[in-house]
Structure 1
Amino acid sequence: MNISLRQLRAFLAVAKLRHFRRAAESLHLTQPAISRQITDLENELDVRLFDRNTREVVPTEAGRYLQVALERVLEELEGVLAHVHSESERRHGKVRVAAVPTLSAGLMPQCIAACAQAYPELTVQLHDQAQVMVLDSVRGGEVDFGLAIEPGEKETFDCETILRDPFVLVCHRTHPLARLTAVPWKKLRGEALVLLDHTSGSRRLIDQQLAAHGVQANVVQQTGHTHTAFRMVESGLGVSVTPRLSLPASDQLVTRPLTPTASRAITLIRRRHRSLSPVAELVWAQIRAMAAQLPQAPRASLKDAKSA
């Protein structure tokens, strides 16, 4: 049956008030509109709901039965709809976010702190994972959404790129490349490289850039964490390429922009065609806003590039 909520509410108003005009006024409608809705309802049910004459409108036996049943059902329905609406206004609960290590350390702490201040009853639970595990966690529904490097299999996810994070060179302050203001990728030919392993979303992009600039990578060490790579560079084992968001905290190391600039796409991901809960939407928006506030990548000047 093609029966609308408007028709049922119009029926109840007429049944209670026993008058079409007063029913129309109570619903802020015109009398012809009310009459049309009642007629359409009767036609759909194939039963007469009111006996009408010039003096009164009286529910028929079928109309009286429908009135009693509808009063109970609509009250329950309005309660359900009110509950659903209140869920959209909710500001408490737990949101699970998976993030790759460089973003867990470089972006998420600020986002979690901002959420804690804006929404004290909201808990953000961070899952610090390698890229492949972040994708698996999102795909399997173990987390609400993820923060990762733009995945190769984007068709599996709904993605929103929120930041471009450029790659930089990290070397010991005594290394010859430290004297340059900007370092062309081709300068890495023959250099001993300490890179993240292939569980990192950045490694695929770094390998692509090295190949694009004709650099046959001399990878002497592969690590699962940037901190380990930096300690190896500190010990003189080689140089490293890292995203700018994961800069080392060491007075023995320096960073230099790589030219031409190449960036990784920082991307919020969720399961394709799956809506986020209202509280997860809040955290998603907070991460997006925090990323927008980060300073843009500095660009090496033409002079600097030539001197390199």
Structure 2
Amino acid sequence: MARSLNFQQIQAFKAVMETGTTTRAAQVLNTTQPSISRRLSELRLATGLELFDIYNGRLRPTRESRQLYESVRRHFEGLEKIETAVHVLRKSGTGVLRIGSTPTLAAGLLPDVMAEFTRQNPEVYISLQTFGTAQLRDYLSQGLIDFVLTTGHIENAEVSSTRLLSTQAVCVLPLGHPLARQRSLSLEHLQAHRLVLLDDNDDIMVAMRARLRAGKQHEDTLVETNSSLTICALVAAGVGVGVVNPFVANTFAGQLAVRELRPAIPVDVTLVRSVALAPSMLANRFVELLTRQTLPDPINSNRASDQQSSTMHPPSTPTTP
């Protein structure tokens, strides 16, 4: 009958697999080599598996040993995550604030709010995790973050969603692009140009493509990506024309031209919280600061940058041969 495993046996096995010898494993675990050998023997009896043999005087893991190690490694990775969480909870100060945000909001909306919050609450430790909306939903359901800030939608009976801010998508163009002469752009304007767009998992693209279909218009997509930050970087490099939310466009001020898009495609910033846990005072304080935040105005700020760039680098006049 197989015996039950214990933590010391698994720990010794993991150390031997990672160091290659029982002597080094003993040094890592601050114990003796005979102790490691005894635990390996106990593990072999408990599992009924031959985990090592001797080859040229050295331990050699079997195929079963390598497969077992993969399971052990994943288990220890989970323990390391738990230890990290414990460290965060123990960190000095009066509190911990754990924020989950989409990357575009973290880069384009939160910096000023974070700066003001840390000035008012210098003793608070903040963990800011940036992921896509789907992963943020999972983190929230697992209690790993206090709240989520997203421009997407989270439909779940276990969360409550509140619209904090409302704005609209913008068109981003390389500096000096012919369309930059327009104060606002329609979808018709974009048809004749190569586009750098988000994939169909993004709400902006869902709305934009629905309007293109309704108007029997086409799109000439050159690059498709899941990152608005990537779109802005590619547009600034002259790859094409893009459509993004204004928060990420604001982070590229002076590097590209930003214009209104007509008809407007709404972009909402949504606060998502778990209904199973009451919000902390720190979370409420942060959200209050955020709701007082003035929306970025990338269109006007970038138009000024466009003009400055045009003055410094006037377009060249073609010569007649």
Q: Is TM (by shorter chain) over 0.5?
A: yes
Evaluate the alpha carbon distance shift between residue 283 and residue 92 of structure 1 in structure 2; reply closer, same or farther with a 3 A threshold. Answer: farther
**SS at structure 2 position matched to 1:135:** helix
Q: CA deviation at 1:137?
A: 1.6
The answer as to 2:171 corresponding to 1:180 is no
| Residue of structure 2 equivalent to 1:286 | 289
Evaluate the alpha carbon distance shift between residue 204 and residue 136 of structure 1 in structure 2; reply closer, same or farther with a 3 A threshold. Answer: farther
Answer yes or no: is the 8 Å Cα contact 1:186–1:214 preserved in 2. Answer: no
The answer as to 2:150 corresponding to 1:164 is no
2: CA distance between counterparts of 1:213 and 1:140? Answer: 43
The answer as to 2:145 corresponding to 1:126 is no
1: CA distance between counterparts of 2:270 and 2:173? Answer: 28
Q: For each residue in 1:37-69, what CA deviation from the matched residue of structure 2 results, as whole angstroms up to 9, or x when unmatched?
A: xxxxxxxxxxxxxxxxxxxxxxxxxxxxxxxxx
Q: For each residue in 1:112-153, what CA deviation from the matched residue of structure 2 results, as whole angstroms up to 9, or x when unmatched?
A: 211111122222211011222222222332211100014152
**What letter matches 1:257 in structure 2?**
E
2: CA distance between counterparts of 1:250 and 1:208? Answer: 29
| Residue of structure 2 equivalent to 1:275 | 278
**SS at structure 1 position matched to 2:169:** strand
Answer yes or no: is the 8 Å Cα contact 1:98–1:146 preserved in 2. Answer: yes
Answer yes or no: is the 8 Å Cα contact 1:131–1:201 preserved in 2. Answer: no
1: CA distance between counterparts of 2:94 and 2:205? Answer: 37
| Residue of structure 2 equivalent to 1:100 | 102
Q: CA deviation at 1:171?
A: 1.2
Range with greater deviation from structure 2 (143-152 or 185-194): 185-194
Q: CA deviation at 1:155?
A: 4.6
2: CA distance between counterparts of 1:210 and 1:169? Answer: 15
| Residue of structure 2 equivalent to 1:138 | 140
2: CA distance between counterparts of 1:150 and 1:288? Answer: 18
Evaluate the alpha carbon distance shift between residue 121 and residue 206 of structure 1 in structure 2; reply closer, same or farther with a 3 A threshold. Answer: farther
RMSD: 2.8
Answer yes or no: is the 8 Å Cα contact 2:168–2:267 preserved in 1. Answer: yes
Evaluate the alpha carbon distance shift between residue 260 and residue 278 of structure 1 in structure 2; reply closer, same or farther with a 3 A threshold. Answer: same
**What letter matches 1:112 in structure 2?**
M
**What letter matches 2:281 in structure 1?**
P
1: CA distance between counterparts of 2:282 and 2:182? Answer: 47
**What letter matches 1:141 in structure 2?**
G
Q: For each residue in 1:206-263, what CA deviation from the matched residue of structure 2 results, as whole angstroms up to 9, or x when unmatched?
A: 4344445443333221224333222322343321001111115365521110112222
Evaluate the alpha carbon distance shift between residue 100 and residue 161 of structure 1 in structure 2; reply closer, same or farther with a 3 A threshold. Answer: same
Q: CA deviation at 1:108?
A: 1.4
Q: How many residues align?
A: 207
1: CA distance between counterparts of 2:297 and 2:138? Answer: 30
Q: CA deviation at 1:188?
A: 2.0
1: CA distance between counterparts of 2:255 and 2:120? Answer: 38
2: CA distance between counterparts of 1:233 and 1:148? Answer: 23
Answer yes or no: is the 8 Å Cα contact 1:165–1:297 preserved in 2. Answer: no
Evaluate the alpha carbon distance shift between residue 176 and residue 296 of structure 1 in structure 2; reply closer, same or farther with a 3 A threshold. Answer: closer
Evaluate the alpha carbon distance shift between residue 278 and residue 235 of structure 1 in structure 2; reply closer, same or farther with a 3 A threshold. Answer: closer
Range with greater deviation from structure 2 (199-208 or 274-283): 199-208
| Residue of structure 1 equivalent to 2:63 | none
Q: CA deviation at 1:175?
A: 2.7
Evaluate the alpha carbon distance shift between residue 239 and residue 161 of structure 1 in structure 2; reply closer, same or farther with a 3 A threshold. Answer: same
**SS at structure 2 position matched to 1:266:** strand
| Residue of structure 1 equivalent to 2:49 | none
Percent identity (aligned): 26
Evaluate the alpha carbon distance shift between residue 126 and residue 272 of structure 1 in structure 2; reply closer, same or farther with a 3 A threshold. Answer: same
The answer as to 2:275 corresponding to 1:264 is no
